[in-house]
């Protein structure tokens, strides 16, 4: 067992996957000699050679596209977009080919690719470095969208993603790349790609979230408990698509209340899909309107003011309390909303 950060867990999983399968190759900008701008591929080129850990020219459409050709030829490419905001030139290849090749050829050719990208804000990055556009990928049939939110889940889910016979978009919440350390056993055990993770049981309200926002959501659940005696369940969706709705429905059946928390803009965010499915399959369980605590429908503000945009504990607590008190509004005196 080693205590590692999330980004180190990513490295560990990559190394393990490359060891156990010689078809696994890494490619992307600066993934080799430099070990990636976040050091996620640190040391791997030394270990596995520059033919398996490939520093590519600067061109994301090609990175996405050559991975398709490699995968159809039996390799298992893990392609890195340096930041999610630079993955868009690759969308065409991912939508038109990676997600479809199996279907187009009735299974003759397939695309066991992992497209990795650090995602989300909160690192005081320049413009375009704070994207949370997972919803774009989650709308594309044929893909899996996977987002780890702890070192343990990063290790297990990334191994699963690499071994999966189909393309996976693997988004790493860079804000928590080094937020905590966890014991991660490098035992090659993958985690399932078809289950949500229940991080906390609770009877009063279900908090559904993923990515870096898991951190604030867990903190909010603690506060809800300690300060307001509200018992909140916390579900880390982890694999957005295909979605394990049953775990969410089961919890909401118990709590009757649901708050969905994500960093991406609200409109058309993946929270909408979860809310929609609740309104379809869980309507009768709902004792209060669904709440979404999300990014606003704006361009993420620059570093100087991004804290106003990012999810904070207070917004989650306020939403959970609105849900629990519904149809009453939570009383002012209980409500200690603070400015961040």
Which parts of this chain interact with a second copy (CB under 8 A)? 61, 85, 88-89, 91-92, 95-96, 99-100, 103-104, 127-128, 133, 135-136, 138-139, 141-142, 241, 243, 264-265, 267-273, 275-276, 278-281, 283-284, 286, 288-292, 296-299
64 is an interface residue for other proteins by CB under 8 A: yes
With contact defined as beta carbons under 8 Å apart, do 215 and 200 qualify?
no
By the rule CB under 8 A, 52 interacts with other proteins: yes
**Residues 10, 157: contact at Cβ < 8 Å?**
no
Residues taking part in catalysis: 129
Q: Is the torsion defined by CA of 13, 14, 18, 23 positive or negative?
A: positive
151 neighbors 143 (Cβ within 8 angstroms) = no
Q: Which does 270 bind (CB under 5 to 8 A by kind): other proteins, a second copy, ligand TPP, none?
A: a second copy
Residue of 43, 297, 334, 336 that binds other proteins (CB under 8 A): 297
Q: What's 98's DSSP letter?
A: I
Name the residue with tokens 């309507």: 283
CB-wise, 81 or 197, nearer to ligand TPP?
A: 81
How far is Cα 80 from Cα 37, in angstroms, rounded to an integer? 11
If phi > 0 it is left, if psi is from -120 to 50 it is alpha, else beta; for residue 292 that is beta
Binding residue for other proteins (CB under 8 A) from 225, 266, 287, 326? Answer: 266
Instruction: Using alpha carbons, list the distances in angstroms from residue 255 to 202, 219, 272, 335.
Output: 7, 19, 19, 21
Q: Which stretch binds other proteins (CB under 8 A): 150-158, 222-230, 304-312, 326-334?
A: 304-312
CB atoms < 10 A from the CB of 160, how many?
22
Record the tokens describing residue 331, joined without a space: 């009383």
CB of 247 to a second copy, least distance (A): 16
State which of residues 29, 131, 166, 244 lies at the interface with ligand TPP (CB under 6 A): 29
For ligand TPP, which residue of 86, 179, 203, 306 counts as binding (CB under 6 A)? 86
* CA end-to-end span of the chain: 37
25: enclosing H helix or E strand: strand 24-28
What is the C-alpha separation between 194 and 231, in angstroms, rounded?
26
Tell me whether residue 62 or residue 109 sits nearer to ligand TPP (CB atom).
62
Residue 289 interacting entry, from a second copy, ligand TPP, other proteins, none, C-beta within 5 to 8 Å by type: a second copy
Dist CA 136 CA 270 (whole Å): 9
Answer for which of 3, 299, 329, 336 binds other proteins (CB under 8 A) is: 299
Q: How many CB atoms lie within 10 A of CB 320?
A: 30
Considering beta carbons, is residue 85 or 151 the nearer one to ligand TPP?
Answer: 85
**77-106 positions binding other proteins, by CB under 8 A:** 77, 85-86, 88-89, 92-93, 96-97, 102-106
254 binds, options ligand TPP, other proteins, a second copy, none, Cβ within 5 to 8 A by partner type: none
Per-residue x/- marks for ligand TPP, 51-70, CB under 6 A?
Answer: -------x-x----------
Query: Alpha helices, DSSP H only, in 21-126?
Result: 44-48, 60-72, 91-93, 101-104
Nearer to ligand TPP, 86 or 325 (CB): 86
Footprint on this chain of ligand TPP (rule: CB under 6 A): 29, 58, 60, 82, 86
């Amino acid at each position: 067992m080693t205590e590692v950060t999330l980004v180190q867990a990513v490295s560990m999983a990559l190394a393990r996957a490359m060891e156990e399968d010689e078809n696994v190759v890494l490619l992307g900008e600066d993934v080799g000699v430099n070990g990636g701008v976040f050091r996620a591929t640190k040391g791997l080129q030394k270990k596995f050679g520059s033919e398996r850990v490939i520093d590519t020219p600067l061109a994301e459409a090609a990175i996405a596209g050559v991975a398709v050709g490699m995968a159809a030829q039996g390799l298992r490419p893990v392609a890195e977009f340096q930041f999610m905001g630079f993955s868009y030139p690759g969308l065409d290849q991912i939508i038109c080919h990676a997600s479809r090749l199996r279907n187009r050829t009735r299974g003759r050719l397939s695309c066991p690719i992992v497209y990795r990208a650090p995602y989300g804000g909160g690192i005081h990055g320049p413009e375009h470095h704070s994207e949370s556009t997972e919803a774009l990928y989650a709308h594309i049939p044929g893909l899996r969208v996977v987002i780890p939110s702890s070192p343990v889940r990063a290790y297990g889910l990334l191994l699963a993603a690499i071994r999966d016979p189909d393309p996976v978009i693997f988004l790493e919440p860079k804000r928590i790349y080094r937020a905590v350390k966890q014991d991660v056993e490098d035992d090659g055990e993958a985690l399932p790609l078809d289950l949500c993770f229940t991080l906390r049981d609770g009877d009063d309200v279900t908090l559904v979230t993923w990515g870096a926002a898991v951190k604030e959501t867990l903190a909010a659940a603690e506060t809800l408990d300690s300060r307001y005696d509200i018992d909140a369940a916390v579900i880390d969706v982890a694999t957005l698509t295909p979605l394990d709705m049953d775990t969410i429905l089961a919890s909401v059946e118990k709590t009757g209340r649901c708050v969905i928390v994500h960093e991406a803009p609200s409109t058309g965010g993946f929270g909408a899909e979860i809310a929609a499915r609740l309104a379809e399959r869980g309507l009768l369980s709902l004792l209060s309107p669904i709440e979404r605590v999300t990014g606003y429908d704006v361009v993420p503000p620059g570093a100087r003011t991004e804290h106003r945009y990012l999810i904070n504990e207070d917004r989650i607590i306020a939403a959970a309390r609105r849900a629990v008190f519904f149809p009453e509004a939570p009383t002012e005196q209980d409500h200690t909303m603070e400015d961040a």
